[in-house]
Amino acid sequence: MNSAARIEAFLEMMSAERGAAENTLSSYRRDLEDASGAIDGGLATAAAADIRAYLDDIAARGFAATSQARKLSAIRQFFKFLYAEGLRGDDPTGTLDSPKKGRPLPKTMSEADTGRLIDRAALEAGDVSSGDGDSLASLRLHALVEVLYATGLRVSELVGLPVTVAQRDDRFFMVRGKGDKERMVPLSAKARAAMKSWLAARAKVPAFADSPFLFPAASDSGYLSRQVFARDLKGLAARAGIASAKISPHVLRHAFASHLLQNGADLRAVQQLLGHADISTTQIYTHVLEERLVRLVNDHHPLAD
């Protein structure tokens, strides 16, 4: 049985026994056939050195670490199948390390751009509340932006907030996040005021009267979808003179964390506010701490000049 036939046998197993989707099978086929074509004698008889040389080659051709890791994963699965079926007595991928994936820094916004975004939202909400605007969506968007930047909530947590958060007018509230874990987050005075304005407008919409959600909508979930908020946020950014490609709800969450750290917050405190189970997740923001430490030394160390 040559390499092509063994690849077909592997794909048949993935389809019949594991119920792999068509897209998954197509991806496996491309990766395995690419490797088999690049290795003398085909993939099925390749040694560890052959596979390592192939991985070095695709790295040199500019394939991203994620693509390299995906291809190696497909090759590993293939050889596990051959070994399990008795078609090979060894697994040449056992000694191969996965390509190192560089962890990208989170996209964020400057404090100045964040201020411009929020000021624009407040301006448009003011126009609506004074009767000059034509849509309550502006009041809703202002509340969403203020609350997101004040709390750093995940977008799913934000859009699904209960209406009681605004009704109580507390400086802190509990949110249930990933893993059904609760955490306490703060609310700024501006965020509370924006929620109150939205709450007053919301009360005038009969369809929202019985909704338990702060941001109700005619959807399966009963509240505003993340996609609608993301679309509205990009439109707001464009009107504020900020490139819409630079903004998303997650970017505002990153801005919340980055700006806290830039202004002296403790990494552990930011971890708790973001709802990260592990401090290593929050450490993507350590570049902010490093920049602050450099400025601190340059500004205050007696030998900095």
Cβ atoms of 34 and 71 within 8 Å: the answer is yes
Reduced to 3 states (helix: H, G, I; strand: E, B; else coil), residue 162 is strand
Judge whether 154 counts as a catalytic residue.
Answer: yes
Q: What are phi and psi of 153, to 5 degrees?
A: -60, 155
Q: Does the annotation count 190 as an active-site position?
A: no
Distances (CA, A) of 82 to 15, 19, 44, 93, 148: 16, 19, 8, 12, 51
Residue 223 bears catalytic tag: no
DSSP H helices, 215-277, are 226-239, 249-262, 267-274
Of 154, 192, 226, 259, the catalytic one is: 154
What is the 8-class DSSP label of residue 284? G
Please tell me which residue in 226, 253, 254, 259 is annotated as part of the active site.
Answer: 253
- Specify whether 178 is catalytic: yes
Closest alpha carbon to 100 in 68, 128, 145, 123:
68
Report how far residue 233's alpha carbon sits from residue 135's, in angstroms, rounded to the nearest whole number. 15
Catalytically annotated residue among 178, 246, 268, 287: 178
- Cα separation, 109 vs 254, in Å, equals 8
Can you tell me the distance from the alpha carbon of 165 to that of 188, in angstroms, rounded to the nearest whole number? 13
Catalytically active residues, by annotation: 154, 178, 250, 253, 276, 285
